[in-house]
């Protein structure tokens, strides 16, 4: 298809009355050499994708129709048994529910907060660089170290409740109650990662031509209207990018749950990726774990595809 | 096409031959007459203690000196928290060690026939002294009359007391006939007077519920039936034991509630239930005592945590690995190991012998909390699929650790969660 498009393009180019002399055809050997160099350039990345994405996914598909006794190395074909277990697993609905809450919480908070911070810090004022650095700095902290520290702060007798008690508030036992435990995991994840979205939005905001806002202002538009009608549409490609990155990141969030709550109390913070880990590496049920991993992969693909398709409705000025 | 098919056939055959060869080498023990310097043995352990590793290295060195076939013996120290998953991943990935330390993975390994039976070899080893092993500590690692792992560590749980904190709270403790009710009462008084914690079941943290066996056994309760097939969390004895713990956390506050950390060895608690080997954490910053576990309504009892060492059947050097295990655990080396790990041999289990290498506890204390406890002790709950049982039990048991929990209902839900796993 690409070849025919190229050919059509070349034909149109040739037919143009303004076209100059036809470009000299490069020798076939040179074209093959160029292609070879191209392939060599992408080879390292291709090998990486092959080794760490395509082969593992293919193996996961294979394991998902097998039962693997890892102690004896015996692999038995079980057909669709692991897929049938998806519908019989009494814990899976709770896990999917927790995953949806976590995803929604992280995506909404992360994008809203990231955009808000970017808008606030897009102005020049004393200390703006300091604030940008402060909000971005958690991104470079190790996720395990970050979560461990929050684990201490959120204990019943931890720092957060210590601060609350100074203002007369008797704080809850954050990590031991279903609702507050999930809220804690979401908030620690958002505080850690909001810096990335903030920087992306800042960069997008600085790319909005000031004369457009100026023209709108001259026409009598309010700040709110300017933001909603001028700025937001112009940064919508970045909005799409951050939405995809945040959704994928949220579905991969593992260490936060593993370190902070181990999925508890009950199953209230057991998100799908943590459940995959449990089944495959703690319960040694590689077959069912692989099936769940494929389900997670499908969710990521479907959500990304939906967002990609929706871009036509809300992304303007797509490059 | 024909050439391609031939190539594929050749590749398939080569793979099959390779697999068969590796399978054969795993299944059949290597002949004792291995070429000099041809055998590398690897043993996974969860200790990273320098002294432990130095002792193991010195035993390995002396073994190697008389075994020219052995090129190296390495002790692969894996982090304790991820030990089981790291070990199983190594086995699954074809990078199986030759010898392994094991705790709650033993039932899985034994039932999968992944361990080499040891009884005949150890009995046939001159002066090894198989009959010296206590039956109470070998049961956990035995099946069908065969021992599959040498229980090198059999550490009883004991009650550690911070005497300074008790003094500060004006509490007197009479060790003779000490009961859980008394411990809870003193703990509540200490908490009330000093703000420090009362009693702490170490390593429980409202997560590792198997540690609560150190309490519920005093009520005559157990996690499941003797044959391991039926959950008994909903028994009246367990209900009473759990009600005691629930009240301790939420009514009289004699134990810290969920999400509150208190480290006895840092001086944060009046009592802790911990293994005797934890005495190494005592730094002399407060006066302490160590006592046998308090009596429960069912009377006196003792609980031990065990660790074993065995040979994996998937080892490439089963013969050499088994020989090394026999050497590592012979009477002389068992005496050396007993410096750090309470031994399974009756001949080494006296307070005086244990005290020779223990700088923290006296001979009388060791006699009371180790020697007198090991023989009749029960082991922490251990079953096939330990991680799944632990997780599913925790998910159900989490509901107990709220102020208004319905104890019998929660324990019923624990059995509903565990029974399908126990039946596997």
For B105-154, write each residue's pLDDT tens digit: 999 999 999 999 999 999 999 999 999 999 889 999 999 999 999 999 99
Distance of CA B177 to the CA centre of its chain: 28
pLDDT digit string (tens) for chain B, length 424 residues: 334 444 433 433 333 333 333 333 333 334 456 788 889 999 999 999 999 999 999 999 999 999 999 999 999 999 998 899 899 989 988 899 999 999 999 999 999 999 999 999 999 999 999 999 998 899 999 999 999 999 999 999 999 999 999 999 999 999 999 999 999 999 999 999 999 999 999 999 999 999 999 999 999 999 999 999 999 999 999 999 999 999 999 999 999 999 888 999 999 999 999 998 888 889 999 999 999 999 999 999 999 999 999 999 999 999 999 999 999 999 999 999 988 899 999 999 888 888 887 778 889 999 999 989 988 899 999 999 999 999 999 999 999 999 999 999 999 999 999 999 999 8
**What residues in B contact A89, CB-CB < 8 Å?**
none
Residues B344/B133, Cβ–Cβ less than 8 Å: yes
Query: Which of A59, A63, A70, A71 best probes binding to B when mutated, by most B CB atoms within 10 angstroms?
Result: A71
Name the token pair of A11. Answer: 């034909």
HEC sequence for A227-291: HHHHHHHHCHHHHHHHHHHHHHHHHHCCHHHHHHCCCCCCCCCCCHHHHHHHHHHHCCCHHHHHH
Identify the bridge partners of residue B44 per DSSP, sorted by sequence position: B76, B100
Give the nearest partner residue to B260 out of A157, A264, A286, using CB atoms. Answer: A157
**What residues in B contact A262, CB-CB < 8 Å?**
207, 394
Query: In degrees, to the nearest 5, what angle opens at C-alpha A231 toward C-alphas A225 and A237?
Result: 140
Is B206–A68 a contact, with Cβ atoms under 8 angstroms apart?
no
pLDDT digit string (tens) for chain A, length 319 residues: 344 434 444 444 444 444 456 666 667 778 889 999 999 999 999 999 999 999 999 999 999 999 998 888 889 999 999 999 999 999 999 999 999 999 999 999 999 999 999 999 998 888 888 999 999 999 999 999 999 999 999 988 889 999 999 999 988 889 988 889 999 999 999 999 999 999 999 999 999 999 999 999 999 999 999 999 999 999 999 999 999 999 999 999 999 999 999 998 999 999 999 999 999 988 999 999 999 999 999 999 999 999 888 887 777 665 4
Portion 66-105 of B in contact with A at CB < 8 A: 84-85, 88-89, 91-92, 94
Residues A283/B387, Cβ–Cβ less than 8 Å: yes
Size of interface A-B (CB pairs under 8 A): 76
Closest approach of A302 to chain B, Cα-based (Å) = 30
- Rg of chain A in Å (alpha carbons): 26
Give the closest residue to B271 by CA, choosing from B285, B283, B254. B254
User: ipTM, 2 decimals?
Assistant: 0.74
Is B399–A266 a contact, with Cβ atoms under 8 angstroms apart?
yes
**What residues in A contact B113, CB-CB < 8 Å?**
72
HEC sequence for B341-371: CCCCEHHHCCHHHHHCCCCCCCHHHHHHHHH
**What residues in B contact A275, CB-CB < 8 Å?**
none
Beta-carbon contacts of B265 under 8 Å, excluding residues fewer than 6 positions away, are B272, B278, B281, B282, B283
Closest approach of B364 to chain A, Cα-based (Å) = 38
Q: Would you say the pTM of this structure is higher than 0.90?
A: no
Is A176–B401 a contact, with Cβ atoms under 8 angstroms apart?
yes
Beta-carbon contacts of B71 under 8 Å, excluding residues fewer than 6 positions away, are B37, B38, B39, B40
Closest approach of A110 to chain B, Cα-based (Å) = 27
Fold of A90-318: MetI-like fold (1.10.3720)
Using omega within 30 degrees of 0 as the cis cutoff, is the peptide bond preceding B288 cis?
no
Residues B116/B312, Cβ–Cβ less than 8 Å: yes
Put residue A79 in one of left, alpha, beta given phi > 0 → left and psi -120 to 50 → alpha. Answer: left
Residues B270/B165, Cβ–Cβ less than 8 Å: yes
Query: Which of A59, A68, A73 best probes binding to B when mutated, by most B CB atoms within 10 angstroms?
Result: A73
Residue A39 burial (10 A CB sphere; 0-12, 13-18, 19+): exposed
B171 touches chain A (CB under 8 A): no
């Amino acid at each position: 298809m690409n070849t025919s498009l190229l050919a059509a393009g070349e034909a149109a180019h040739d037919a143009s009355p303004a076209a100059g002399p036809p470009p000299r055809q490069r020798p076939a050997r040179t074209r093959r050499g160029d292609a070879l160099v191209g392939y060599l350039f992408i080879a390292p990345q291709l090998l990486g994708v092959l080794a760490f994405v395509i082969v593992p996914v293919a193996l996961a598909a294979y394991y998902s129709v097998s039962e693997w006794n890892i102690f004896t190395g015996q692999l038995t074909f079980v057909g669709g048994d692991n897929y049938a277990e998806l519908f019989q697993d009494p814990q899976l609905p709770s896990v999917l529910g927790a995953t949806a809450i976590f995803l929604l919480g992280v995506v909404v908070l992360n994008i809203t907060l990231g955009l808000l911070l970017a808008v606030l810090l897009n102005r020049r004022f004393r200390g703006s660089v300091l604030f940008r650095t402060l909000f971005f700095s958690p991104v470079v902290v190790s996720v395990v170290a970050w979560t461990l520290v929050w684990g201490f702060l959120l204990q019943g007798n931890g720092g957060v409740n210590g601060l609350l008690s100074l203002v007369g508030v008797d704080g809850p036992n954050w990590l031991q109650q279903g609702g507050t435990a999930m809220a804690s995991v979401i908030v620690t994840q958002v505080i850690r990662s909001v810096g990335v979205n903030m920087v992306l939005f800042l960069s997008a905001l600085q790319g909005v031509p000031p004369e457009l806002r100026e023209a709108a202002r001259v026409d009598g538009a309010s700040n709110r209207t300017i933001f909603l009608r001028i700025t937001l549409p112009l940064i919508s490609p970045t909005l799409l990018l951050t939405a995809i990155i945040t959704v994928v990141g949220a579905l991969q969030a593992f260490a936060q749950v593993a370190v902070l709550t181990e999925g508890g109390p009950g199953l209230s913070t057991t998100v799908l990726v943590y459940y995959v880990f449990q089944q495959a590496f703690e319960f040694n049920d590689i077959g069912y774990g692989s099936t769940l991993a494929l389900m997670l992969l499908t969710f990521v693909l479907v959500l990304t595809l939906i967002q990609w398709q929706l871009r036509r409705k809300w992304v303007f000025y797509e490059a | 096409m024909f050439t391609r098919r031939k190539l594929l056939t050749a590749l398939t055959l080569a793979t099959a031959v390779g697999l068969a060869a590796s399978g054969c080498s795993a299944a059949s023990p290597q002949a004792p007459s291995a070429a000099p310097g041809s055998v590398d043995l690897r043993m996974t352990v969860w200790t990273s203690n320098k002294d432990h590793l130095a002792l193991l290295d010195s035993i390995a060195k002396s073994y190697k000196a008389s075994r020219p076939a052995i090129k190296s013996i390495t002790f692969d120290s894996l982090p304790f928290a991820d030990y089981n998953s790291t070990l199983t991943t190594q086995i699954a990935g074809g990078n199986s060690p030759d010898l392994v330390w094991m705790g709650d993975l033993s039932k899985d390994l034994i039932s999968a026939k992944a361990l080499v039976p040891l009884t005949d070899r150890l009995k046939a080893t001159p002066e090894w002294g198989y009959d010296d092993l206590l039956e109470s500590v070998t049961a956990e690692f035995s099946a069908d009359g065969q021992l599959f792992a040498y229980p090198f560590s059999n550490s009883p749980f004991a009650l550690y007391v911070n005497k300074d904190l008790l003094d500060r709270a004006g509490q007197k403790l009479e060790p003779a006939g000490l009961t859980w009710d008394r411990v809870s009462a003193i703990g509540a008084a200490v908490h009330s007077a000093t703000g420090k914690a009362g009693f702490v079941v170490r390593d429980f943290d409202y997560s590792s519920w198997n540690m609560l066996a150190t309490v519920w056994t005093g009520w005559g309760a157990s996690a499941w039936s003797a044959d391991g097939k039926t959950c008994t969390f909903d028994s009246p004895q367990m209900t009473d034991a759990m009600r005691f713990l629930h009240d301790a956390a939420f009514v009289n506050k004699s134990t810290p509630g969920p999400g509150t950390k208190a480290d006895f060895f840092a001086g944060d608690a009046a009592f802790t239930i911990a293994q005797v080997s934890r005495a190494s954490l005592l730094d002399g910053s407060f006066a302490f005592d160590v006592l046998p576990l308090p009596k429960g309504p069912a009377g006196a009892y003792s609980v031990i945590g065990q660790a074993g060492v065995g040979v994996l059947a998937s080892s490439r050097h089963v013969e050499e690995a088994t020989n090394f295990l026999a050497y590592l655990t012979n009477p002389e080396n068992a005496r050396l190991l007993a410096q750090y790990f309470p031994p399974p041999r009756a001949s080494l289990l006296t307070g005086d012998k244990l005290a020779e290498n223990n700088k923290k506890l006296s001979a009388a204390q060791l006699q009371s909390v180790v020697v007198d406890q090991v023989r009749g002790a029960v082991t922490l709950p251990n079953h096939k699929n330990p991680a799944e049982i632990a997780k599913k039990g925790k998910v159900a048991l989490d509901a107990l650790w709220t102020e208004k929990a319905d104890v019998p209902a929660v324990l019923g839900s624990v059995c509903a969660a565990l029974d399908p796993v126990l039946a596997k």
